Structure 1
Amino acid sequence: MRSSSPSAGPSRRDVLRRWEEDDVWACVYCDAAFGPMVVAEADHITPLAKGGVHELFNIAPACAGCNRAKSDLDMSDWLRVLAGQLDTDCDPTVTR
């Protein structure tokens, strides 16, 4: 019998493994390469705060700076922000 509670979604390890399999090793927003100084974070394309789900199809690899700057903006709003300014104040070395 199936549980009526929703799945917790993929773990961080599952997400990182998927990105590794897909050769995704840079922030989707600023193209900063992930490594010791730039940590990959899971950005929810449709924010959880706005009804998004914690599933692989709704998670994009982002650096800490971009993930914090995007915050709970919808993808369409975030892309408008990026298009409207050259400097997004994104510092990929920030690991707050």
Structure 2
Amino acid sequence: MLPKRCLPPTSGGCGQQLIRGDFPRKRSVADQRHPLCRFCQSRRDADRYLMHRLRLADHWEEQGIFNCHICAGDFSEDDEIHIDHVWPRARGGTDDVWNMYPAHALCNMSKSDADPWEFLPRTLADAGLDFWAAFRAKP
């Protein structure tokens, strides 16, 4: 295997001399390998994910969103908080702020990839309410 050097630390890399197999494929560069090794790439991706979560938390705080948007229950300190996509990514939803809300882990996993028009009637039926009758009722 041919050696390749990761980008220097000033550019987000580790600067180590590694083998080409330690670099993800990228066809748009001359040697068809990404300039960051897999380790530096995964560290950068984790940092980006953390920053995204922190921006979402700031947005939710500005909007006054402090509870689960599915069950409307409050979060306790030991709750695992998931980011729920109202319109699931599997069904064409985006990672825009307006599509992402905090949810309890169990609430989010029970919703799975259902869109709101599938999930809400099912949830209300479990509580003994008929969503479609209430939807058709005139105010």
**TM-score relative to the length of structure 2:** 0.52
Find the aligned partners of 1:60 and 1:81 in 2 and give their Cα distance: 20
Structural RMSD (CA): 2.2
Structure 1 spans left out of the alignment, 5+ residues: 1-7, 88-96
2:88 is aligned with 1:47: yes
Structure showing the higher helix proportion among its residues: 2
CA distance in 1, matches of 2:63, 2:82: 16
The answer as to 2:98 corresponding to 1:80 is no
SS at match of 2:73: coil
SS at match of 2:69: coil
* Number of residue pairs the alignment of both structures matches: 80
Cα shift at 1:79: 0.4
Deviation per CA, 1:36-81, whole angstroms, max 9, x where unpaired? 1223321101100111101111112211111000010011101011
Contact 1:42–1:62, Cα closer than 8 Å, also in 2: yes
Q: Report % sequence identity.
A: 30
Q: Unaligned regions of 5+ residues in structure 2, if any?
A: 1-47, 129-139
| 1:82 Cα deviation from its structure 2 partner | 0.9
Aligned AA (1:60) = Y
Q: What one-letter code is carried by the residue in structure 1 that aligns with 2:104?
A: C
Secondary structure, counterpart of 1:77 in structure 2: helix
2:111: which partner in 1?
A: 70
